[in-house]
Amino acid sequence: MRNALNVCVLQKDDSHLRLLIQGVDVAFVNSLRRIIIAEVPCMAIDEVMVIENSSVLHDEILAHRLGLIPLTTDLDNYKLPEECSCKSDLGCKLCRVSLILDVEAGDKMMIVYSGDLKSDDPNVIPVSNRIPIVKLAPRQKVKLEIYARLSRGKDHAKWQPVSMCAYKYLPRINIDEGKCDGCGKCINICPKRILIKANSVVSVQRVLDCTLCQDCVKACPKKPPAIQVKWNENSFVFSFESTGALPVERIAFEAFKILDKRLEGLLNSLAAAERAEEVEGVGS
């Protein structure tokens, strides 16, 4: 049943990517999903020094809100702190970006936006300038020194480059035209409305939208049912949605790179174990 690996793009825009991956097994696509969620690094605010905060939000809440702001990530010019040569808790220019937030309300109320953050690096800025951070009453002031770092989703959800990453089997719907009498019960029950009536027989449109819920099969009055919903064990519809921190194709690319490195590590340790066994065998 296994055919060669084949990937094609079903849908792509600034934040979404939908792929059809054929010729692989669940273990592969699931590892890809888990790597995208937990291993692909991205930039997020990690440390906040509060110099002054007279706003109504507590320091901790302010810091938490800042941490959740997605920042555009420059993976080529920054290193993960644990892999950086500086080995310091504070970080250096290669593994840390500093930002400043210094705002004071005048005589009127004001809203502090993510656009008010001043970054040292023009490549690492908030994804959107219109995220409200806090609202200030007249003469309230917020002055913060902020550090952003690269890290991974497994450390904190703020470092996840995606807000959605999921896959499903490629649906395959068969309708027995000899048995189907066009009663329409399956058409009405389908939550995705993918079945239509054509020439008194039911036919399928937009197969990819099928959620494999089997409601249409259960609704069919014929025994056995005239409609069958099956799926292809080696084909997957894989989709994810970027938070804006990284472009979608870069996320996929990095995920493959990490998976490659992991598998290489596994092979190396297997080879090492084999060698150790041989040495032991010679010794005894």
Partner 1 sequence: MLMIIPIRCFTCGKLIGDKWEEYVKRKEAGEDPKRILDDMGLTRYCCRRMLLSHVEIIDEVLEFYKEASKRKIKSE
Amino acid residing at 59: D
Q: Is 131 in the site for partner 1 (CB under 8 A)?
A: yes
Residue from 2, 130, 223, 279 touching partner 1 (CB under 8 A): that is 130
CB atoms within 10 A of CB 237: 22
**Which C-beta is closer to partner 1: that of 131 or that of 217?**
131
**Which C-beta is closer to partner 1: that of 73 or that of 234?**
73
CA–CA separation, 37 and 240 (whole Å) = 10
Q: How far is the CB of 131 from partner 1 (least distance, A)?
A: 4
Give the angle 101-104-108 at the CA atoms, nearest 5°: 140
Q: How far is the CB of 119 from partner 1 (least distance, A)?
A: 17
Give the residue among 134, 116, 138, 114 at the shortest CA–CA distance from 126: 114
**Which C-beta is closer to partner 1: that of 128 or that of 269?**
128
Q: Is 229 in the site for partner 1 (CB under 8 A)?
A: no
CA–CA separation, 250 and 240 (whole Å) = 12
Token representation of residue 111: 């809203």
Q: Is 213 in the site for partner 1 (CB under 8 A)?
A: no
Q: How far is CA 65 from CA 47, 183, 245, in A?
A: 12, 54, 16
Q: How far is the CB of 65 from partner 1 (least distance, A)?
A: 6
Amino acid residing at 99: L
- Bridge partners (DSSP) of residue 198 are 201
Range 104-123, binding partner 1 (CB under 8 A): 109, 114
Residue from 20, 127, 183, 208 touching partner 1 (CB under 8 A): that is 127
Q: Is 211 in the site for partner 1 (CB under 8 A)?
A: no
* Residue ranges that bind partner 1, judged by CB under 8 A: 15, 56-57, 65, 68-70, 109, 114, 127-132, 134-140, 157, 160, 163-164, 241, 243-244
